[in-house]
């Protein structure tokens, strides 16, 4: 069974940093591209970032480019999102999601809450 478990969400002050993790199991992690998606409270879904299976191709949404960094460790079956210079508007539930041949966001984790507030 495919499982994606996010962790690392916390309360952080504006301007601060946080690293989210996504632990993958139930599939061969190193062969699948991965994404991060977020959802602000009461708002819609926002795609944030993509990383290819080997980590060599990366894309970001303009809203996080230059502040967030996606990475992965295939030996540890883990995906990461380093978030710097956090703003109030980054408050959201953050999801990791695995790609498949047919769809970008085929499997989702349960999400982790990041709150940016002073």
Least distance (Å) from another protein to the CB of residue 91? 16
Contact status: 94 vs another protein (CB under 8 A): no
Contact status: 112 vs another protein (CB under 8 A): no
Contact status: 40 vs another protein (CB under 8 A): no
Among 24, 83, 109, 114, binds another protein (CB under 8 A): 109
Q: Compute the Cα dihedral for 71, 12, 91, 6 and give only its sign.
A: positive
Contact status: 22 vs another protein (CB under 8 A): no
Cβ–Cβ < 8 Å for 112, 81: no
- Determine the number of helices (DSSP H) and then strands (DSSP E) in the chain: 0, 11
């Amino acid at each position: 069974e495919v499982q994606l478990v996010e962790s690392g969400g916390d309360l952080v002050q504006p301007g601060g940093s946080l690293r989210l993790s996504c632990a993958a199991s139930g599939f061969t992690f190193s062969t699948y591209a991965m994404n991060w998606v977020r959802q602000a409270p009461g708002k819609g879904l926002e795609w944030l970032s993509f990383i290819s299976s080997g980590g060599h191709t990366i894309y970001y949404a303009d809203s996080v480019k230059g502040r967030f960094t996606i990475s992965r460790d295939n030996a540890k079956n883990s995906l990461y999102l380093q978030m710097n210079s956090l703003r109030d508007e980054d408050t959201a539930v953050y999801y990791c999601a695995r790609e498949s041949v047919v769809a970008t966001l085929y499997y989702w984790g349960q999400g982790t809450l990041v709150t940016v507030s002073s």
